[in-house]
Amino acid sequence: MIKVASYNMRKSIGTDRRRRPERTLAVLGEIDADVIALQEADRRFGERTAVLSDHLLGHHGAWKAIPLGIRQRSMGWHGNALLIRADAQVLDCEAIHLPTLEPRGAVVADVRVRGQVIRVVGMHLDLSGLWRRRQAHAIIAHLAASTRQYPTVLMGDLNEWSASGGCLRDFAAHFEFAETGKSFHARKPIARLDRIMASRDLEFTEAGVHDSPASRTASDHLPVWATVRPA
């Protein structure tokens, strides 16, 4: 089994309005996932510098960032980043350019974790329902056009308040959703904005929201997680 997680880390600015990357890493350590999709992982302006620096990740030692190589000092693409276990192998990776009015994107990587290869997509979709659906269609089409197919996990902040409509309906035509739970707002969760999905050659064995004293203050979103295995 492989444990995956998704976390809108809000540039490591917590509900106390303090930027503390070490606290973000502490939350990730509590989850202890094999593959992690991060949103808002880079600073917003200027060089879009990674909030979790190579030094911090190296000191922690559990994970490494998948190098997209788009911006020299960024970890991801429009704030989307992927972390994997330090002993996992990256087979391929790329950014997915999404139709949008504001900076949005997705990232995809093929990784080998304990001998199993999976494709992982991290995303942060638009605030507009119309653009969310266009972005969902772009991601689905990008995956379908790949010459090589792998069992696939999609994760991220979908910004979808509907229970089953909008982009959720589009994704549900191709993927199964994990029953994670409400992740926003971290202090009093009322919405399932953060989602994990998988292709139908995978099955979820467990899923949930990581709610701890640290996660309730580290960001305005709680992390979501799931374990998957071949169906």
Using CA atoms, how far residue 193 sits from 91, 131, 172, in Å, is 30, 16, 15
Question: pLDDT tens per residue, the chain (231 residues)?
Answer: 999 999 999 999 999 999 999 999 999 999 999 999 999 999 866 567 899 988 888 888 899 999 986 666 678 899 999 999 999 999 999 999 999 878 888 999 999 999 999 999 999 999 999 999 999 999 999 999 999 999 999 999 999 999 999 999 999 999 999 999 999 999 999 999 999 999 999 999 999 999 999 999 999 999 999 999 999
Q: What is the pLDDT of residue 68?
A: 82
Identity of the residue numbered 113:
V
Q: What is the pLDDT of residue 135?
A: 97
Structure tokens at 136: 């969902």
Q: What is the pLDDT of residue 100?
A: 86
Question: Residue 105 and residue 171: Cα distance in Å, rounded?
Answer: 16
Query: In terms of C-beta distances under 8 Å and separation of at least 24 residues, what long-range contacts does 17-24 make, across chains too?
Result: 19/51, 20/218, 21/51, 21/52, 21/53, 21/56, 22/56, 23/214, 23/217, 23/218, 24/51, 24/52, 24/218, 24/219
Structure tokens at 9: 């880390």
Structure tokens at 103: 């900076």
Residues in contact with 149: Cβ distance below 8 Å, sequence separation at least 6, in sequence order? 119
Q: What is the pLDDT of residue 191?
A: 97
Q: What is the pLDDT of residue 71?
A: 65
Q: What is the pLDDT of residue 46?
A: 54
Q: What is the pLDDT of residue 69?
A: 62
Question: Residue 25 and residue 12: Cα distance in Å, rounded?
Answer: 9
Q: What is the pLDDT of residue 45?
A: 60
Residue 16 CB neighbours (<10 A): 9
Tell me the domains of the chain and their CATH numbers. Answer: 2-230 (3.60.10.10)
Q: What is the pLDDT of residue 72?
A: 62
